[in-house]
Amino acid sequence: MSQDDPEVTPLDQCRYEFGFPVPEDWQGEGEISIRQFPACEIAAVHCRGDIYKVDRAWQYLYRYWLPNSRYQPANLPVMEIYQEQPAALGWETFDLECAVPITTL
């Protein structure tokens, strides 16, 4: 999950969070914390391709789909939901959903 837009925020200051399900009694420690992500509606584009295709998917969501929809981004981080791990694809191809939590205007 990304907290920042890398086109606005310098790359060395971009913040990212990684999420995965854990048992309810699991405790985080150090820099690892437990956060409940709320149920929400999302707008998503499936993307399979190189990093440039992933960038085009994000551009489509933010520059075309959202302005032409009846939705706005919710106050939650965007997500890249991986269908296959990049390491399994050689780090040159990505298979993921570009997902933006949304609310009605």
Q: How far apart are the C-alpha atoms of 9 and 69, rounded to whole Å? A: 26
pTM score, whole prediction: 0.77
Collect all residues with Cβ–Cβ distance below 8 Å to 59 and sequence separation of at least 6.
Answer: none
13-63 pLDDT, tens per residue?
A: 877 777 778 888 888 888 888 888 889 999 999 999 998 899 899 999 999
Tens of pLDDT, residues 67-78: 999 999 999 988
Q: The tokens 């699991």 sit on which residue?
A: 26
SS (H, E, C) 22-44: CCCCCCCCCCCCCCCCCCCEEEE
Q: How many CB atoms lie within 10 A of CB 65?
A: 15
pLDDT tens-digit readout, 80-92 = 898 988 788 888 8
